[in-house]
A and B are shown apart, each in its own frame.
Chain A
Amino acid sequence: MNTTILSARSLSKRYGDGIALNNVDLDIAAGESVAIMGASGSGKTTLLHTLAGITSPDAGSVNYAGTEVSALNETQRSKLRREAFGFVFQAGLLIPELTAIENVALALMLNGVPRRDAEAQSAGWLAHLGLAGMEARRIGELSGGQAQRVAIVRAQVTGARIVFADEPTGALDSHTSANVMSALLAATAGRGNTLVLVTHDPTVAARCSRTLYMHDGVISLAPAAHPDATPPPVAHPVSTQDGSTFMQNQNWAGQP
């Protein structure tokens, strides 16, 4: 049994009259890949943001590897996000002026890594995610799937122990979505790190090791009776296995 790396206790968050989180308790083990599903407005993105220290809860606490995240000030939380967490957003949200390699290297440079080393490490990561030869391309010159893989590299290049992904495949077609998901799992759970992702897509959730369902700010283990939260198919149940296979296929086990 892996040790708990991230835990939440009695998390509550309201936006006006709406309840986003209602007394949520959650433990996530190191190396897990956890999918959070639920209807729009069910509180899943708020949960992701609260776990990542982006949003402060109204009540309750979040603990990351012994650090009380909810007790940190904005600067300390920013530092924690920069050094220990990685993020992948739906639209990638890479910096359009920078090239692929600069977008990745920037994450390392923010942690004080010299540019030459940062770009060398970034180049290795990009190559292993099938982006060799595209290092100097601007983000606008990449396809959606390629840009999302750059975002995955950016999220993991710093050695983040947890990657938070908010609808990482939401803007992609099914084939590209499957490839990006393989890359994401390989780069995170496949290397012993943790992935927490929000998704509406049951096939994406099915590839994670655990799926949680949010309904009116409460976590449940079974989906609510809502079209957005249909149960995942069981055809591809094991995420880390997928990740390992992807890594072997890409011949990059243990890299970088």
Chain B
Amino acid sequence: MKSTFSILWLTSRPSSGSKAVIALPAVAFALVTALLLIVLAGGLSFFTNPAQDDEFGTAGAYQMLAALAVSLMVLPILTLGGSAARLSARRRDERLSTLRLLGATAALVSVMTIVESTVIACVGVLAGVVLYVAALPAIALIPFQGQALGLDKLWLPANVLVIAAAALILLAAVSAAVGLRQVVLSPLGVRTRQTAPTVHWLRLALGGVAAVGLYAVMSTAMSSPSLAIVVVMVCGGFAGGLAVLNLMGPFVLKWLAGIGLRRAQTPVKLLAARTVLESPKAAWRQVSSLSMTSFIAVIAGTGLALISAAGESSNPAEMYLTGDMRTGVLITVVASFLLVAASAGVNQAAAVLDRRELYVSLDRLGMPRSVMDAARKRAVMSPVRLVTVGSAALAVILLFPLTGAALFFAPLSLVVIAGVLACGIGLVRLGLAASTPVLGKVLAQ
């Protein structure tokens, strides 16, 4: 055990070149933690003394909607957390696989991976708690039921805080172990990256069958007179739709990148297509949270349209509920965008640092920086466009009775959806733009 920690210290102590290896996953974990805590605090604020605050008898509706919003957000936040952990592990894989080639045991490599990623996650989680506390005063100003939320409702109970932090750290450890399984199994596979990536067509077939089944169930359930059943089905449809997207996404990306590769006539298009084909699953993971955003945007647009179509109510309770739903939807969508932008920025900065040596060699060969930058951006933006449009289309189909009604009664919903999606794409572009200076810095060294 002593030797394990000696090697761990030797390979982990920060040097000028490895600071980013530690900093990037830590930043990602800080963002994940802050967003998770804020979402939990916002959601739980509707469960704080509900009887005392329930002036209009709508506490139950608020709690149900808050639970829905939290359930919409928690999964993408945890997905980003998993990405951050994989990022942490992946950035170490070369060094660890070299150690494995030198004779380090699988157990030693596993322990080192898990300990490193967990320590980095702990630092990030602590920073995230600080971020959460710092953000509270601004969030406390958001109005619900005609008054600001207030700081006192947004402080998370200590046990919730500890459980959330522990869950994120556990997620980091598990994701790191899974991410480095390949190193343990086959050190040469990672060291030389010679294994050709495979994505099976069965994903598409299974996804198609699942989508049809989901549509059939949703169509039947949506006609239910019970609001509770409709809400449960919306949640179920959301989770099911996401599972279908994640099943089909990598294969569709691979298929389209293959077409792009055959048609590529410029270095930018060739490099971008090959980057996606190198690992369609990784390309999908990078943009999968946008599928969530796109999905939410369609649901939000539909919801807002139906509320507008229903007209203003004279009942103060209903007026508040309508306005607050609008606010809640807006917050949910904005938070989703922030997740995507953070994910794109961190992943791309990491990708540039991972390939530092290659970028420097390409610069020496005379490849213009604009080509390198355009190729890596295209490798992200092409899947982004596909994911945005594809996910939105899938959401429209799955929620068809509702989206059809929204389109008929309030065409404004289309404008809202288009605007929301354009904002999402714009934010991803901003996230990518934030990583451009990293490329400049790498090439200037």
Closest to B261 in A: A102
A79 touches B270 (CB 8 A): no
B274 lies within 8 A of A98 (CB) = yes
Q: B228 within 8 Å of A by Cβ?
A: no
Complex A-B: 24 CB contacts under 8 Å: A52-B364, A54-B364, A78-B363, A81-B364, A81-B366, A82-B366, A82-B368, A83-B366, A85-B366, A87-B361, A93-B357, A93-B361, A95-B362, A96-B193, A97-B271, A97-B278, A102-B270, A102-B274, A106-B267, A106-B271, A110-B371, A138-B194, A138-B196, A140-B193
A140 / chain B contacts, CB cutoff of 8 Å? 192-195
A154 to B358, CA, bound (A): 15
Q: Which residues of A line the B interface, CB within 8 A?
A: 52, 54, 75, 78-83, 85, 87, 89, 91, 93, 95-98, 102, 106-107, 109-110, 114-115, 138, 140-141, 154
> What's the Cα separation between A108 and B245 when bound, in Å?
39
Task: Among B267, B277, B358, B364, point to the contact of A87 (Cβ < 8 A).
Answer: B364
Whole-angstrom CA separation of A115 from B277 in the bound complex: 19
Q: Which of B260-280 contact A (CB under 8 A)?
A: 264-267, 270-271, 274-275, 277-278
Q: Say yes or no for B138: interface residue by CB 8 A criterion.
A: no
Beta-carbon contact of A115 and B194 below 8 Å: no
Tell me which residues across on chain A come within 8 A of B196, comparing CB atoms: 138, 141
Chain B nearest Cβ from A136, distance in angstroms: 11
Nearest residue in B to A92 (C-beta to C-beta)?
B361
Within 272-303 of B, Cβ neighbours of A (below 8 Å) are at: 274-275, 277-278
Q: Which residues of A contact B362 (CB under 8 A)?
A: 95
Interface size on B, residues (CB 8 A): 26
- Contact indicator B366/A115 (Cβ below 8 Å): no
Contacts of A95 in B (CB 8 A): 271, 274, 358, 362
Closest residue on chain A to residue B188 by CB atoms? A140
A87 proximity list for chain B (CB < 8 A): 361, 364-365
A188 → chain B, closest Cβ, in Å? Answer: 16
User: Given the interface contacts A82-B366, A83-B366, A85-B366, does A97 sit within 8 Å of B274 by beta carbon?
Assistant: yes
- Closest Cβ–Cβ distance, residue A36 to chain B (whole Å): 17
Task: Return chain B residues, CB-CB under 8 Å to A80.
Answer: 366
- Is residue B216 contacting chain A, with contact meaning CB distance below 8 A? no
Question: Within 8 Å CB of B278, what residues of A?
Answer: 96-97
B367 within 8 A of A: yes
- Shortest Cβ gap from A49 to chain B (Å): 8
Chain A residues positioned under 8 Å from B363 (CB to CB) = 78
Name the one of A52, A54, A93, A107 contacting B358, with C-beta atoms under 8 angstroms: A93
Closest to A99 in B: B274
In the complex, A78 Cα to B368 Cα: how many Å? Answer: 7
A97 and B366 contacting across the interface, CB-CB below 8 Å: no
Residue among B271, B361, B366 with the highest chain A CB neighbour number at 10 A: B366
**Min CB gap A196→B, angstroms:** 14
B367–A82 touching, CB < 8 Å? yes
Q: Residue of B at shortest CB range from A79?
A: B366
Tell me if B365 and A109 are in contact (CB < 8 A): no
Which A residues touch B275, using CB under 8 A?
97
Q: CA–CA, A87 to B366, complex, Å?
A: 10
Residue of A nearest to B193 (CB): A140
Chain B residues contacting A107 (CB-CB under 8 Å) are: 365
CB atoms of A89 and B361 under 8 A apart: yes
Is B366 touching A109 in the complex (CB atoms < 8 A)? no
Distance in angstroms from A199 CB to nearest chain B CB is 18
Minimum C-beta distance from A52 to chain B (A): 7
> What is the CB-to-nearest-CB distance from B312 to chain A, in angstroms, rounded to a whole number?
56
CB-CB contacts of B362-387 with A at 8 A, as 1s and 0s? 11111110010000000000000000
Partner of B264, one of A83, A115, A138, A154: A115
A-B pairs, 8 with minimum CB distance: A82-B366, A140-B194, A81-B366, A93-B361, A97-B274, A97-B278, A140-B192, A109-B267
Q: How far is the CA of A48 from the CA of B362 in the complex (A)?
A: 16
Q: Is the CB of B265 within 8 A of A81?
A: no
**Could you say which residues of chain A place their CB within 8 Å of the CB of B195?**
140
For residue A89, which residues in chain B have a CB less than 8 angstroms away from its CB?
361, 364
Cβ–Cβ contact B277 & A97, under 8 A? yes
Contacts of A82 in B (CB 8 A): 365-368
Apart from A82-B367, A97-B271, A97-B277, list 8 A-B contacts with CB within 8 A.
Answer: A82-B366, A95-B271, A95-B358, A98-B270, A106-B270, A109-B266, A141-B194, A154-B365
B165 to chain A, nearest CB (A): 38
Report the nearest B residue to A74, measured CB to CB.
B369
Shortest distance between the CB of A247 and any CB in chain B (Å)? 24
In contact, A110 and B358 (Cβ under 8 angstroms): no
Would you give the shortest CB distance from A31 to chain B, in whole angstroms?
23
Q: Report the separation of the CA atoms of residues A129 and B427 in the bound assembly, to the nearest whole angstrom.
A: 47
* Complexed CA–CA distance, A107 and B365 (Å): 8
- Measured between beta carbons, the chain B residues less than 8 angstroms from A85 are 366
Q: Give the docked Cα–Cα distance between A95 and B275 (Å).
A: 10
Contacts of B274 in A (CB 8 A): 95, 97-98, 102
Give every chain B residue within 8 A of A96 (Cβ-Cβ).
193, 278, 358
Minimal Cβ-Cβ distance residue in A for B368: A78
* Distance between B439 CB and nearest chain A CB, rounded to angstroms: 14
CA distance A79 to B192 in the complex (A): 31
Tell me, in angstroms, the Cα distance from A98 to B271 when the chains sit together: 8
| Min CB gap B403→A, angstroms | 39
- For chain B, residues 185 to 239, give those with C-beta under 8 angstroms from any C-beta of chain A: 192-196
Q: How far is the CB of A56 from chain B (nearest CB, A)?
A: 12
Residues of B within 8 A of A102 (CB): 270, 274
The docked-state distance in angstroms from the alpha carbon of A79 to that of B396 is 49
Nearest Cβ on chain A to B263's Cβ, whole angstroms: 9
